[in-house]
Structure 1
């Protein structure tokens, strides 16, 4: 078990008895690239997770050990700065957020590791940030709310990892519930849970095997393009603060004032917000087939209007479409690689995986890795860690 390995590693490298915290990765069923535009998203926490064993050490240093990289790193807490190794930035960024709130962070020892695939769009970075934020909140008795921890984890990624992410990933890791998806309004931060019938439908992720080398730079470009569209529309509609406020009619009325590329970016976001709302109605109605149609439409928009897909992701979505028991499929995450998310009838999962592997090999000559995931609860302290003697 992962928890046993992490606690054993902690005992090997450090001496005290740690607190053990589990922080899940996430999937996003629909609502991609809407979060930083003040829109709606529909994520869920999943059973791929990062585990933390952490304890105060009575010094002024954080002694970190990445179990997956088999790598140590120590930093003085009085002056945390981004640097190398890159993995430590996610942790140092969280410490800096506590310090910005006036919290003195004493020295601590930390071993962390997990099974969230890196680069597959399941938000391993958010799990790392949220796990440490939650653990420090427990150890230091700071009594911060989960939403505060989500904001702090998001800012850690902005300021120390250099990615201007929205808040969805951190929110999903902290606010997940078993057998439910959660619709987050990324502007007001209001949220609502919707039932997800894990007996009727399984989530299968197909990893394109393509690393999103373009994702960070293109992500920031997409943000700028959306902001350009908003600035033009604000001249006519001062009440607009983000694409969340824009209707397709308003966008069409001023299409001539916006470049063709920016128009398509904005149209995608406006339509995707509506798809999330529609998809939630279908979940309540128990109509998974109609929910799946919104997923296919989401992928088409990401491919054609937002242009963040890639040939490998497109092949996977089209290969899934005709297979028996598939409700819907689309690319998930920032784009340019990573996974597709597929909703599949449980009895058909095995044949689905076999067919997808064969299709990917046949069409692109590539091996396909797949993951079956379950929707679980958010970040939590596990039972007091049993440390092997």
Structure 2
């Protein structure tokens, strides 16, 4: 088991017995780019995970080791800052969040590694942030609740990774429940769980192999475009605090003032919030066909209105659409690469993977990685496995 391997690596490097924490990546069934617009999202924690081995070391130094990259970084706890080592910034950003709350972070040792594919839109960065935040909260006895830890992870991403992400990724990693998806209201932070029956339907991810970085200018540009649209609307409708409050009719009435690009960005977000609502009602009714149609519509909006898809993702969605047992498919994550998420009948999964792999090779000459995922519980501790 990977958790045992990470714990063993920790003992080899630091010679003590660590706390072992598991932090899952996430999928988002529907509701993309809505979180930073105070809208609705529908994520779930999945069994692609990052494991942490962490212990306080009775010094004033922080020692970090990435077992996947076999790279280390050390610095004084009193001198936490952004570094040129990108992977370490996600962790150091979390430490800074404790310090900004007036909490003194003692020296600690940390080894981490995992199975969340990097750049696949499954929020490996959020898993890294939430896993360390949970571990330090436990070791330091600071008694911060999970929502506070989620916000700390989000701010670490903003301040140390330079990505103005919404709260969904950290929330999903911390609040996941096995066999359930969770709808988060990104304004009020109220949330509700919905059953997702993985005995009849599997979530299969198809990795385009295109690497993307949410820190790219395009992600932050989309956020600015949405904010511009809200600023236009507020001149006419003071009650509109975010796109969550806007209607298609209001957007259309001021399309000329916004310009077509901003109008399309905003219209996508307003329509995507409605799709999340329809999709949740479909889950309660056991209507996977309707749920799948919302996924296809979501992808079309991301492709044409929000313009964050790419040729590889579009080919994967279209290939899935024609296969038996597929309820729905769409790109998932920030965009410009990463995975598509597909809902597939259990008895059709093997054929689906075979056909998709062949189609991707035939159309693009590229090898396709696929992942079958199970919905699991959120961040938690594990027993450190005794060395053998």
Identify the TM-score tier after normalising by the shorter chain.
over 0.9
| Cα deviation 1:178-216 (Å, max 9, x = unaligned) | 000000011111100000011111000000011115762
The separation in 2 between residues aligned to 1:66 and 1:215, in whole angstroms, is 21
The separation in 2 between residues aligned to 1:299 and 1:230, in whole angstroms, is 23
In the alignment, what sits opposite 2:50? 50
| Cα deviation 1:44-71 (Å, max 9, x = unaligned) | 0000000000000000011111000001
In the alignment, what sits opposite 2:384? 385
In the alignment, what sits opposite 1:144? 144
**Match of 2:193, SS?**
strand
In the alignment, what sits opposite 1:211? 211
Gaps of 5+ in 2: none
**Match of 1:119, SS?**
coil
1:213–1:54 distance in 2 versus 1, CA, 3 Å: closer
The separation in 1 between residues aligned to 2:287 and 2:213, in whole angstroms, is 37
The separation in 2 between residues aligned to 1:72 and 1:254, in whole angstroms, is 53
In the alignment, what sits opposite 1:275? 275
| Cα deviation 1:113-159 (Å, max 9, x = unaligned) | 00000000000000000000000000000000000000000000000
In the alignment, what sits opposite 2:29? 29
The separation in 1 between residues aligned to 2:168 and 2:257, in whole angstroms, is 31
The separation in 2 between residues aligned to 1:251 and 1:340, in whole angstroms, is 29
| Cα deviation 1:211-243 (Å, max 9, x = unaligned) | 115762100000010011100000000011100
What's the CA shift for 1:75? 1.1
What TM-score results when the alignment is normalised by the length of structure 2? 0.99
Q: Check if 1:362 corresponds to 2:362.
A: yes
In the alignment, what sits opposite 1:109? 109
Are the aligned partners of 1:182 and 1:193 in contact in 2 as well (CA < 8 Å)? yes
What's the CA shift for 1:387? 2.9
Q: How does 1:282-301 map to 2 (within 5 A)?
A: 282-301=282-301
The separation in 1 between residues aligned to 2:271 and 2:348, in whole angstroms, is 31
In the alignment, what sits opposite 2:161? 161
The separation in 2 between residues aligned to 1:213 and 1:71, in whole angstroms, is 21
In the alignment, what sits opposite 1:95? 95
Q: How does 1:303-382 map to 2 (within 5 A)?
A: 303-382=303-382
What's the CA shift for 1:85? 1.0
Gaps of 5+ in 1: none
In the alignment, what sits opposite 2:123? 123
Tell me the number of residue pairs that the alignment of Structure 1 and Structure 2 aligns. 388
Are the aligned partners of 2:130 and 2:170 in contact in 1 as well (CA < 8 Å)? yes
The separation in 2 between residues aligned to 1:3 and 1:79, in whole angstroms, is 30
In the alignment, what sits opposite 1:64? 64
The separation in 2 between residues aligned to 1:191 and 1:163, in whole angstroms, is 24
The separation in 1 between residues aligned to 2:116 and 2:82, in whole angstroms, is 23
Are the aligned partners of 2:163 and 2:215 in contact in 1 as well (CA < 8 Å)? no
**Match of 1:314, SS?**
helix
The separation in 2 between residues aligned to 1:278 and 1:386, in whole angstroms, is 45
The separation in 1 between residues aligned to 2:180 and 2:249, in whole angstroms, is 34
Q: How does 1:2-13 map to 2 (within 5 A)?
A: 2-13=2-13
Q: Hey, which bits of structure 1, 4+ residues long, moved more than 2 A?
A: 213-216
**Match of 2:111, SS?**
strand
The separation in 1 between residues aligned to 2:130 and 2:216, in whole angstroms, is 20
What's the CA shift for 1:250? 0.9
**Match of 2:244, SS?**
helix
Deviates more, 1:2-11 or 1:212-221: 212-221
Q: Check if 1:38 corresponds to 2:38.
A: yes
**Match of 1:160, SS?**
helix
| Cα deviation 1:60-89 (Å, max 9, x = unaligned) | 011111000001110111010001211100
Are the aligned partners of 1:319 and 1:356 in contact in 2 as well (CA < 8 Å)? yes
Q: Check if 1:18 corresponds to 2:18.
A: yes
RMSD (Å), alpha carbons: 0.8
Q: How does 1:168-179 map to 2 (within 5 A)?
A: 168-179=168-179
**Match of 1:125, SS?**
helix
